[in-house]
Amino acid sequence: MRAEREHVRGLYARLDAERARARGVLAGALRDEGVPIVQRDDAVRIAGREVRRLDVADSGLCFGRLDAVGGGRQYVGRIGLFDEEDDYEPVLLDWRAPAARAFYTATGAHPEGVRRRRQFLTRGRRVVEFTDEDFARPGGGARGDAALLAAVNAPRGEGMRDIVATIQSEQDEVIRLDHPGVLVVEGGPGTGKTVVALHRVAYLLYTQREQMERHGVLVVGPNPAFLHHIGRVLPSLGESDVVFTTTGGLVPGLRATAEDDQGAAAVKGSLGVLDVLRAAIADRQSLPAEPLPVELSDVALRIDAATAEWARQEARDSGLPHNQARAVFTEVITYVLTERAIPRVGRGWVSRDDKAAWEELRADLLAELADDEAFTAALDQLWPVLTPQELLGELLSSPERLRAAGAPASLLRADGEAWTVSDVPLLDELFDLLGPTGPEDRTAEREWRAEAEYAAGVLEILAVDRRDDLMDDEDHLLPQDMVYAADLADRFVERDTRDLVERATADRSWTYRHVVVDEAQELSEMDWRVLMRRCPNRSFTIVGDLAQRRSPAGARSWSSVLDRYVPGRWVYRALTVNYRTPAEIMAVAARVLAGFSPGTEPPESVRACGVRPWARRVPEDEVAAAVAEFQREEAGREGTSVVIGPACVPGAVAAAQTKGLEFDSVLVVAPERILAEGARGQAELYVALTRATQRLGVVHSGELPEALAGLVPG
């Protein structure tokens, strides 16, 4: 123990020295104004990343050791450290390094060249305990569970913790799986699928840093509370180029959290709604009931239905998004109007044979039409420029527009722009169907190019002067004497200093290198269309549990979701061990699961807690008092607690809002009301029962559901 403590102290001393050096490099890069901005920005970015990498390692820097069969040993930890004086030999292996894999996967039957595996239990910077597995001794290769049990039995804190010290073999297989396409990870409650997916992100960022860091990673979760819960895991592993959002936040500037009723959510989530959106756009491309007058200075014109119909068909046939196709519509309309106007304005002195005069007069008329308010109003009436919010908001608040688009009346609501989570993929789709509302803003690019052209001109003058000076000089122009126009332009233009997360969340067209989708069984067909647009290379880690699906628009099988986009490019892995829910609680939850998904095997709990879940029946008017009593008791205990139940129960949250979360103690209120919602209610009760890591209680006023009959009186 003394030797190990001394070795770990030495690793921390090396960490402190490297961190001080990295911070010095960062400070120097920030102060260095003698280099081009691009070069300085790169130096700052690299140094900053190294500082962050070293800063996260204070807690649990080293958590194990591997002794090889042929001699030699390697320590395994949160980051990698190297001996600069010994050809950069590793003194601490990063847990993601290939050489560290045996720490998680070696067994007595397959020791993978390992003689002994040692696991440390640390507090702060001090080793307080270790356990050994001696693979060279018969019976000595059973993996010790001390570190794992200490982690799963520890009171829960505010957020999810990383598991680098306790990754199990089936989890490690998922984390390191070398598959370039879509990986589906399914597991019941408590199997660690979320934290495994996050560690897979950290592993990919480690092994594919150059490809991944340009575009970053998107993590999609079921609700804001879940994102807050998992938000510290990747930063604790030194990774920050990750965007966290819900499906309600996939459109920049919008954070929808309200949910539609089941019927509306099912309609909006199906691919059939695409026909509704296209029909809603077509409905706005109208024909005039009566000719629309356009009064110019020398002639009175009108846009009749036949002209508008021809222009509309040409615009539709162009294949352009609605707002871009308006240019085609306008071109046909103006052509017809000017063709009719020229002979009348020219009064016989302009002939078609005189092409120059004809086109000159057309140009005058086009200029007048462009400035004519009546003509612009006519275009806006027949082919308006539309935003996604405008089109969808007016559609959802108008019975007439819904009927014209072939949508059910159940989608009608008073406030069309009271956005729900199910509206977000529709808005995203409309961005593509409608296109931008004006010319793409390339102001910054134009300014940069103007500065570059100016700089190039300056350099040309300097080059001429330099050539004159060198005419009689035998020396040649050296590379360090050269300056590029773009470098000089950078001195005149303010650079975008936002980090990757800021840029990605503000840009709808941003594409990610990898996407993680949690609680993926809840996503609709339309949600998947949005995500596939965000990741053109189709690199996904998808985690979920089909048995926990509550959304009517959610997935009923993984193949129904993925074969449309990545046929033959997705693989499936299952997690079967429950690290969260003790056996006493899982036995109760398993009976609920059997009631609505009889073919699904519940995950096997890795431990028992010795505390049986209980149930108590109280009168309706005493439910609030029972909840208050539970909260008082839990306030005096270490750890976290939650009350799950109907909205009418003071202090209760819905089961859906606790998906992916875990608490030391859970009180489920009115399970009979939860089950009254049918299949959706059964899934929600299953979720509610499996949130607890230590203690579970149930309070009810009606009859206790049969599946919970085994609970002890509380």
- 355 belongs to an annotated ligand binding site: no
- 190 belongs to an annotated ligand binding site: yes
For 100, counting Cβ atoms within 10 Å of its Cβ (0-12 exposed, 13-18 middle, 19+ buried), the class is buried
- For 175: left if phi > 0, alpha if psi spans -120 to 50, otherwise beta; the answer is alpha
Distance CA 304, CA 288 (A): 7
Q: Angle CA(276)–CA(280)–CA(285) in degrees, nearest 5?
A: 145
- 194 belongs to an annotated ligand binding site: yes
Sequence-ordered list of residues with C-beta below 8 angstroms from that of 340, at least 6 positions apart, any chain: 301
- 70 belongs to an annotated ligand binding site: no
- The terminus-to-terminus CA distance of the chain in angstroms comes to 46
- 651 belongs to an annotated ligand binding site: no
Q: Work out the angle between the directed axes of helices 273-283 and 262-269 (0-180°, nearest 10).
A: 80
Distance CA 189, CA 579 (A): 9
- 376 belongs to an annotated ligand binding site: no
Q: Supply 617's token pair.
A: 């029946």
- 191 belongs to an annotated ligand binding site: yes
Q: Supply 21's token pair.
A: 């050096």
Q: Angle CA(95)–CA(98)–CA(100) in degrees, nearest 5?
A: 40
Q: Supply 320's token pair.
A: 């352009």
Tell me the sheet residues that pair with 543: 185
Distance CA 649, CA 621 (A): 11
CB 396 within 8 A of CB 419: no
Tell me the sheet residues that pair with 301: 294
Distance CA 25, CA 14 (A): 17
For 244, counting Cβ atoms within 10 Å of its Cβ (0-12 exposed, 13-18 middle, 19+ buried), the class is buried
- 693 belongs to an annotated ligand binding site: no
| Binding region | 187-194
| Binding region for ATP | 187-194
